[in-house]
Structure 1
Amino acid sequence: MNLFRALAAVLALTLGLSTLPLQAADMSAGNVSSGDPVYSVDTPPFYSMLGDLIIARPLLLGATVIGTAAFIVSLPFTALGGNVKEAGQALVIDPGKATFVRCLGCTESGYKQD
């Protein structure tokens, strides 16, 4: 590595680490925002949305499909037991809400109603 790249790396790390005390003081004061007025608790950052889109949604879609198949297979037994509604809620509705109704990057399912 040449001298310019080493100096640039050290400078970038130094500047990046110098902001940590400011962020820690901001967090201890009770301010949980990222400092950017665009982000808030209701609007997750892009990396959260990207991870949700690439990793979580395909897994939740698979869980919804597998849960639907398990619900269909267990339907005679749940009908005899009288808990078809609870089985449908746990195996189909909850994973479906987490897959399709939850906003991208959010942690809670459903829409917020005020």
Structure 2
Amino acid sequence: MAKSILINSFSLCQNLSAPEKFGIDAVGNLTDNENLYFCYVVDGHGGCKNSDILVKNFQAYVLSLKDVFAQLNNTTQDIHDFFERLTENFYIEHRGKLRPAAVIPP
């Protein structure tokens, strides 16, 4: 349900200075945890070369964490640690592979 809400919320992400453009390049979720759902929206930087590759790589990276997320405890610290590791490890894995402007440190 959350994914459908995100998909149908493109109008909320409309670029005010360029109304024909929207700020959503991908929508995804992880739902294999009985207590938690992870729904996300990815907005690449269209002005940067390889931004589309970075968006695809991020989706693949999040999907690779499916089993880790399924075992995640519903505590503030565990959730914080999960997202901190997600952003740090994704950055480290892609640092130097794409244009620097496309990969901003967490």
Q: Decide which structure has the larger Cα Rg and report it.
A: 1
Structure whose residues are more often helix by fraction: 1
TM-score normalised according to structure 1 size? 0.29
TM-score normalised according to structure 2 size? 0.30
**Bigger relative CO (Cα 8 Å, ≥ 6 apart):** 1
Structure whose residues are more often strand by fraction: 2
